[in-house]
């Protein structure tokens, strides 16, 4: 069995360290649990898209865990997808992406464990016209083409959709319809057994089209109901995924004792008044 501890939406910062205490608590829990891999599924930083100091601080905190680790970028780390509706947030560009890669390594990757191929993607390249978006698409085709009998676990920052793959809304919350279809086409007929994301700051596990979709909690904060619908649980924590060699898998929300569920509305100095 291969155990992945997925942490997400840590929103770490150098000069706005409001969510560092929660990260330290989750780090203590991870060191006690000793998963095979810690995976941060994005929004690692509070504002790495414009603050290099946030990148450096977040990287240092993760190195302090002393555990095997991989990263995927979120919109706050390198800018949002170019097809996301604008709300004053930076959009991904080549410079922001390169800066992210210099701190956290490749923004897409895959590796194999018994019975499984684990594929991590840069969700912000989906729906963007950077040269790297084409390179990522080619990598997805490669990863899917020679998967053989392994099952596919796909990780990316944003959920693919709310309930169904045919949704047509253009949002910043989910992968938009056209890049969603392109992603599915790049998988050349391989149906992921597991798709796991962050971004919404809510925990949810659901099944759609033979795939288990898991949304990981943030370790940092939740967003109040008047700003965001309730899709699942608004609670902080992390998710443990267990991938068994025979293809079985399970994912559970892990609550960390002493780690408060903070509400972003209480921190107007972070992203402005909510």
Q: Which residues bind Fe ion (CB under 5 A)?
A: 9, 43, 74-75, 199
Smallest gap, in angstroms, from Cβ of residue 246 to Fe ion? 34
Please, what is the minimum distance in Å from the beta carbon of residue 11 to Fe ion? 6
Question: Three-class SS string for the chain?
Answer: CEEEEEECCCCECCCCCCCHHHHHHHHHHHHHHCCCEEEECCCCECCCCCCHHHHHHHHHHHHCCCCCEEECCCHHHHCECCCCCCCCCCECCHHHHHHHHHHHCCCCEEEEECCEEEEECCHHHCCCCCHHHHHHHHHHHHHHHCCCCCEEEEECCCCCCCCCCCCCCCCCCCCCHHHHHHHHHHCCCCCCCEEEECCCCCEEEEEECCEEEEECCCCCEECCCCCCCCCCECCCCEEEEEECCCCCEEEEEECCCCCCCEEHHHCHHHHCCC
Residue 100 φ then ψ, to 5°: -55, -50
Closest contact distance (angstroms) between CB of 172 and Fe ion is 8
CB of 8 to Fe ion, least distance (A): 7
When the beta carbons of 13 and 75 are compared against Fe ion, the nearer one is 75
Residue that is written with structure tokens 């649990």 in the block:
33
Task: State the minimum distance, in angstroms, from the CB of residue 193 to Fe ion.
Answer: 24
Q: Which is closer to Fe ion, CB of 9 or CB of 14? A: 9
- State the nearest-atom distance from the C-beta of 153 to Fe ion, in Å: 20
Q: Least distance from C-beta 220 to Fe ion, angstroms?
A: 8
Task: Quickly count: other Cβ atoms within 10 Å of residue 120's Cβ.
Answer: 25
Nearer to Fe ion, 35 or 79 (CB): 79
Q: Using the minimum distance from each CB to Fe ion, give the nearer residue, 84 or 183.
A: 84
Closer of 7 and 194 to Fe ion (Cβ): 7
Closest to Fe ion by CB, 32 vs 226, is: 226
Our CB check for Fe ion shows the closer of 99 and 173 to be 173
Q: How many residues would you count in the chain?
A: 274
The owner of tokens 């991870």 is 30
Structure-block tokens of residue 39: 């995976």
């Amino acid at each position: 069995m291969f155990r992945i501890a997925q942490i997400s939406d840590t929103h770490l910062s150098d000069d706005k360290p409001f969510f560092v205490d929660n990260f330290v608590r989750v780090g203590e829990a991870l060191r006690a649990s000793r998963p095979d891999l810690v995976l941060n599924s994005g929004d690692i930083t509070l504002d790495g898209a414009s603050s290099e100091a946030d990148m450096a601080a977040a990287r240092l905190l993760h190195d302090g865990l002393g555990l095997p680790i991989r990263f995927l970028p979120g919109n706050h780390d390198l800018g949002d997808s170019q097809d996301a509706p604008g709300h004053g947030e930076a959009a991904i560009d080549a410079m922001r992406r390169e800066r992210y890669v210099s701190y956290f390594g490749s923004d897409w990757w895959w590796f194999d464990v018994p019975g499984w191929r684990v594929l991590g993607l840069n969700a912000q390249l989906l729906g963007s016209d950077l040269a790297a978006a084409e390179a990522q698409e080619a990598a997805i085709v490669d990863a899917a083409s020679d998967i053989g009998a392994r099952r596919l676990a796909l990780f990316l920052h944003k959920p693919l959709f709310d309930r169904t793959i045919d949704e047509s809304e253009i949002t910043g919350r989910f992968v938009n319809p056209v890049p969603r279809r392109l992603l599915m086409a790049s998988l050349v007929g391989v149906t992921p057994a597991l798709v796991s994301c962050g971004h919404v700051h809510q925990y949810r596990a659901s099944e759609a089209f033979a795939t288990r979709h898991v949304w990981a909690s943030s370790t940092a904060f939740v967003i109040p109901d008047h700003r965001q619908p309730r899709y699942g649980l608004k609670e902080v924590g992390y998710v443990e995924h267990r991938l068994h060699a025979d293809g079985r898998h399970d994912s559970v929300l892990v609550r960390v004792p002493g780690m408060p569920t903070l509400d972003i509305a209480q921190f107007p100095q972070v992203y402005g008044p909510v």
